[in-house]
Chains A and B, each alone.
Chain A
């Protein structure tokens, strides 16, 4: 009985783990190329989940066909966020902003007031909330300052800055989605039948999600190893100065890998919805951020394939430990597995910060 349950949970863990792996590849790609930890990772997964939900509920598109849409949305978001907020902190050719003085601030304030007036006029037609108007006005004022005065000071921002910026980007996404769709938990039901293995039952949607993430991982592997564009990106990971000397446009590779990383993350959000029947809400990402960090650290943080295998290992460990913890009397196995994943993160960071699946050196 116990072993049947355990093997059933492990198969489930394998299936879920491959999707976890894919959900972490974007994080590792961004860290590998830009040395930026995307602390807002979970929020992008949430965007993918909402993409799948909306496409399925209002247009009847099956989630597996929502993948290209999600990839496109994610890459657009990635480009906007990279040029808007990350580039001024990390760009290898001229990061930072030229000195902002009183005159520049005056102009920015002018932009703010102009946008506010425009939004107020528009609000008569579109019924816009005043807070949303303030939000848009702040964004446009900021965009004005970055666009007009950006990219002159030659110094990189500290690591702290990129952490806080990606964190805030995640918060912005969550809040915007909350304003549009409210914070109630939603879900959808896509049923394709089930596969009975004897000791456990697997819905075909989950198998499809696992297959989808495996396909994406293989495509990414081929792209990195067989195409010129992929090799250019890898060269930046290996040695960004050397890549520059060889004529690789490092600035563009930064933008591309950030946007690809976000695209992959949003796509994984689509696949993850097949495992959560209800529970799609603007704040669902937090738990996935923690899991993604554990997985990324398992796989060595800077390697997308490492992340994929780390995901599989994590899926097995999570489900396996659930079975074992459920056998303990007097505990809540669900909460304990989440504590367990946190302890696992600390232990791996302590004994092997370069990742368990990576050779040393």
Chain B
């Protein structure tokens, strides 16, 4: 696609996030729900950047959120006396991105050489493996985790620390979601996206055509991992002010990411938003009316979507608007 309309699909995305944020600000009682929805959208966007574009399933994805959370936690708990003020949060985000990028490079060096099923097998243990490394070698306090609410208060002052964990953490989640969406669209509209599309459809053919598939896989994998790290640092570390290994390496969050991406449509820009909103809202109401039953209901829905509607919600929508003036807004 040429010309000025290339990046138009970002408009509905930004509009959706702006509306969600405005709703949260206007209805204070619903702020927790809005924050949760933003988290799901961001999780979906970040996960989709790799899984949706390449068709490779990373079952250990939550490990990147986990090390990102640790990045923020370690920074705040060790630098709180340095008098850095709000700069400490910036350093925390940097550390989160660096930690998850390093882990992604380590995992990717092995896993990205492998195809299809072997890739999934290589990644399925990443979260558990890393959790047991932290617990077993007693890195970063081992199984006891890090509680740093006290450090955050020393670094920022009592009032500011409260505002950061109750308000700004959620705003940062929105930021990560928007960043992930912008990067997704940029990739989709540039060489990376076209190469990954070719790879997803037929990896051998793409290789024969001279596409350096490994390079583009690494780009998508690391971007997706770094975004996950930022999400962990904002949505978990800053919000909860503690980190505890079994919580942040729980495979359950990978499952949620998969559900969100598939509901909305893998490889699309708007899919994760649609999926995240639907999943988040239905989970919220299921948790109120029928606590503990969410997975029982969502698991058969995943199977039904894969077998009956493999293209997801936005995929169907794309088919519907094809040939109309709305076409250039939907991707």
Q: Does A334 contact B (CB under 8 A)?
A: yes
Would you give the 0/1 interface string for A155-191, flagging 1 where the beta carbon is closer than 8 Å to chain B? 0011111011101110110111001000000000000
Per-residue interface assignment for chain A, residues 28 to 57, with 1 indicating a CB less than 8 Å from any chain B CB and 0 otherwise: 000100010101000000000000000000
Q: Which of A305-334 contact B (CB under 8 A)?
A: 325, 330-334
A342's closest neighbor in chain B, by CB?
B129
Residue of B nearest to A36 (CB): B117
User: How distant is the Cα of A85 from the Cα of B304 in the complex, in angstroms?
Assistant: 8
Q: Are A164 and B57 in contact (CB under 8 A)?
A: yes
B137 close to A338 (CB less than 8 A): no
* Interface pair B306/A138, CB less than 8 Å apart: no
Report whether A139 and B300 are in contact in the complex, using a CB–CB cutoff of 8 Å.
yes
Q: Tell whether B23 is near chain A: CB-to-CB under 8 Å.
A: no
A108-163 CB contacts (< 8 Å) to partner B: 129-132, 134-135, 138-139, 141-142, 145-146, 157-161, 163
Report chain B residues within 8 Å CB of A290.
Answer: 124-125, 128
Q: How many angstroms from the CA of A179 to the CA of B297 in the assembled complex? A: 12
- A39 and B55 form a contact (CB under 8 A): no
| Closest CB in chain B relative to A72 CB, distance in Å | 24
Residue B9 CB within 8 A of the other chain? no
Which residues of chain B have C-beta atoms less than 8 A from A286's C-beta?
128, 251
Contact B290 A168 (CB under 8 A): no
Q: Provided the pairs A131-B297, A332-B143 are in contact, do residues A339 and B132 lie with their beta carbons within 8 angstroms?
A: yes
Cβ-based interface call for A343 (8 A): yes
Given known contacts A37-B121, A138-B304, A157-B306, what 16 new A-B pairs fall within 8 Å (CB)?
A130-B290, A139-B300, A159-B117, A169-B303, A176-B296, A286-B128, A293-B124, A332-B137, A334-B136, A335-B133, A336-B136, A336-B137, A339-B133, A345-B121, A346-B122, A349-B111
B73-81, B214-222, B229-237, B307-315 - the one binding chain A: B307-315
Which B residues lie within 8 Å of A97 (CB)? 307-308
B197 within 8 A of A: no
**Min CB gap B61→A, angstroms:** 13
Minimal Cβ-Cβ distance residue in B for A325: B136
Q: How far is the CB of A130 from chain B (nearest CB, A)?
A: 7
Q: Are A345 and B122 in contact (CB under 8 A)?
A: yes
Q: How many residues of B are in contact with the other chain, CB < 8 A?
A: 51
Chain A neighbourhood of B110, CB < 8 A: 346, 349-350
- Asked if B94 is at the interface (CB within 8 A of a chain A CB), the reply is no
Main SS class of interface, A: helix
Flag if B132 contacts A335 (CB, 8 Å). Answer: yes
- Per a CB cutoff under 8 Å, which of A160, A176, A179, A294 touches B57? A160
Give per-residue flags for B80-115: 1 if the beta carbon is below 8 A from chain A beta carbons, else 0: 000000000000000000000000000000110110
Contact B136–A338 (Cβ < 8 Å): yes
**Is the CB–CB distance between A138 and B118 below 8 Å?**
no
Does B142 interact with chain A (Cβ within 8 Å)? Answer: yes
Shortest Cβ distance from residue A318 to the other chain B in the assembled complex, whole angstroms: 13
User: Chain B 36-75 against A: per-residue CB contact (8 Å), 1 yes, 0 no?
Assistant: 0000000000000001000111010000000000000000
22 A-B pairs within 8 Å (CB atoms) are namely A37-B117, A129-B290, A131-B290, A134-B297, A145-B304, A145-B308, A160-B55, A160-B57, A167-B59, A167-B255, A171-B299, A175-B295, A334-B136, A336-B132, A336-B133, A338-B128, A342-B128, A343-B129, A349-B111, A349-B114, A349-B118, A350-B110
Q: Which residue of B lies closest to A131 (CB)?
A: B293
> CB-CB < 8 A to B300: which residues of A?
135, 138-139, 142, 168, 172
* A131, A289, A297, A343, most chain B CB atoms within 10 A: A131
Inter-subunit contact A168/B299 (CB<8 Å): yes
Closest A residue to B122 by beta carbon equals A349
* Known interface pairs A161-B310, A164-B302, A335-B132; A172-B125 also in contact (CB < 8 Å): no
Known: A89-B307, A138-B304, A338-B132. A160 touches B56 (CB 8 A): yes
